[in-house]
Every structure is written in C-alpha cells, then in structure tokens.
Amino acid sequence: MNYKQIMISGFLLWLFSVIGTTLVAFTQQNTLELIAANEKKVLLRNLYALIPADQMDNDIALDILEVASSELLGTDLPSIVYRARKAQQPVAVVFNAVAPGGYNGNIDLLIAVYENGTVAGVRAVKHNETPGLGDSIEVRKSDWILGFDGKSLLNPIIDFWKVKRDGGAFDQITGATITPRAIVKAVKKTLQYYEINRENLYQ
C-alpha cells in the first residue's frame, strides 16, 4: 500500500468515525427529547386525573415548588410539589411521595390534596408489586385507590387511618394486606405534612 492509499484509507476511516459519532449523538439527543416529552405527557395525564383541568387556570406542570426531604413524604431526597390555582387562588397541591414497606419495596405515589386538607386523589406511579395481587393499587386494575378521595385527617379520625385488619377504616386488597397498609400510612403522613407546611406550599 503506497502513501496515497494510506492517506485515503485514513481519511475514510476518519470520515466514517465522524459520521458515526454524529449519528449516535443525533439519535441520542432525539431519543432524550422524546423520552422527556413522553414523561411530561404521562405526568400531565396523572396530574389532570387528580385535579381536573377545569379546576385550575395555571400550568400545574410549571407551577412547582421543590421541598426538602421529609420522613413524612417517605423520601430522603428533595421532591417536587405541583400547585394548582384558579384566579391566583390556591386550589390544590400534588405531592411526589413514597410509601416504603410495600410487599416488594417502595411505591412511588402522586398524592393530591385540596387547599382545605381533603384528598383530591392518589395514584401509584411506580412499584414492583405482584401482578394480580399488589398491582391492584393501579387505578386501571382496581378502584381500591379511589377510596382515598375526599378523605382527610378528620375523616376518618387519625386513629382510624389503618386498614380494616388493623382496626382502621380502609379496605385491604384481598390477598395483599402489606401493600395497602403501606399506602394508607403514606397518605396519612402526606396529609400531616400538608397540615404542617400548608402556609408555605402556595408561596
């Protein structure tokens, strides 16, 4: 192979490397943007399922507050609170909370609380619960999680924020008591967090 052929081969190798790197970078960037867009779409779907769009006139996905880690929210990391308002007046907040102690580990929740302290709704957004048993916490599998709607620390009173097997007011899921027990406790603690921090959450 003469010098000219070596130069051509080297140039082609460099060219293919540049093209390959550019394509990988372009694909990765587009993929990241697509993933981010899909994640926002899922988030908005969940937020609007908890707080209907006609109850607010702000962009709940952008009206956010980062709060410090809290045992009451089940996390040792800062988390995001989404805020719903109408005519600049507080309507509700949606917490990212974690229910530790599920049957197969932590359960990530969105917990929406109206300004007056009642639960607007709860959704399980990430978990590893057993299909056919613990996954009944998903609203598409069961209406169990809708049982929190309208509840507060006064309804039922704090002593009854337990599953019925433990002497409380909340149904358990047939064959899966550990999972609902963890979620009931997480929702109660989130309501307690709300009562303590209510004044600061809408600022």
Residue 132 has pLDDT above 70, yes or no: no
Backbone angles phi, psi at 81, to 5 degrees: -115, 130
Mean model confidence pLDDT for the chain: 87
Q: Work out the number of other CB atoms within 10 angstroms of the CB of residue 83.
A: 20
Work out the average pLDDT over 73-89. Answer: 95
Residues 88 and 178 in one domain: yes
CB 97 within 8 Å of CB 74: yes
pLDDT at 1 over 70: no
Which of 100, 98, 188, 173 lies closest to 137, judged by CA? 173
Q: What are phi and psi of 134, to 5 degrees?
A: -65, -25
DSSP state of 175: T
Cβ-contact 146, 65 below 8 angstroms? no
**Same-domain pairing of 121 and 97:** yes
Q: What is the pLDDT of residue 128?
A: 72
Task: Please tell me the predicted confidence (pLDDT) of residue 138.
Answer: 86
Position with higher pLDDT, 86 vs 43: 86
Could you tell me if 61 and 13 lie in one domain?
no
Q: State yes or no: pLDDT of 42 exceeds 70.
A: yes
Q: Which residue has the tokens 């056919």?
A: 132
Total number of domains constituting the chain: 2
What tokens appear for 170 in the block? 């909340």
* Tokens linked to 141: 């599998």
pTM of the model: 0.80
CB 125 within 8 A of CB 145: no
Q: Tokens at residue 66, please?
A: 């980062």
Question: Looking at residues 189-200, what average pLDDT do you find?
Answer: 96
Asked whether residue 133 carries a pLDDT value surpassing 70, the answer given is: no
Q: Which two tokens stand for residue 50?
A: 């908890």
- For residue 84, is pLDDT > 70? yes
SS3 state of residue 165:
helix
- Residue 69 pLDDT > 60, yes or no? yes
Report how far residue 27's alpha carbon sits from residue 25's, in angstroms, rounded to the nearest whole number: 5
Residue 173 has pLDDT above 80, yes or no: yes
Same domain, 36 and 76: no
Q: How many CB atoms lie within 10 A of CB 88?
A: 8
Same domain, 83 and 1: no
User: Stretch 23-30: mean pLDDT, rounded?
Assistant: 69
123, 177: one domain: yes
Higher per-residue confidence, 21 vs 148 = 148
Domain range spanning residue 184?
54-201
Q: Is the pLDDT of residue 10 over 70?
A: no
Q: Are residues 25 and 113 in the same domain?
A: no
Q: Which pLDDT value is given to residue 162? A: 95
pLDDT, one tens digit per residue, over 100-126 is: 988 788 999 999 999 999 999 999 988
Q: Report the DSSP beta bridge partners of residue 155.
A: 152
Q: What is the DSSP letter of 105?
A: E
Q: How confident is the model at residue 192 (pLDDT cuts 50, 70, 90)?
A: very high
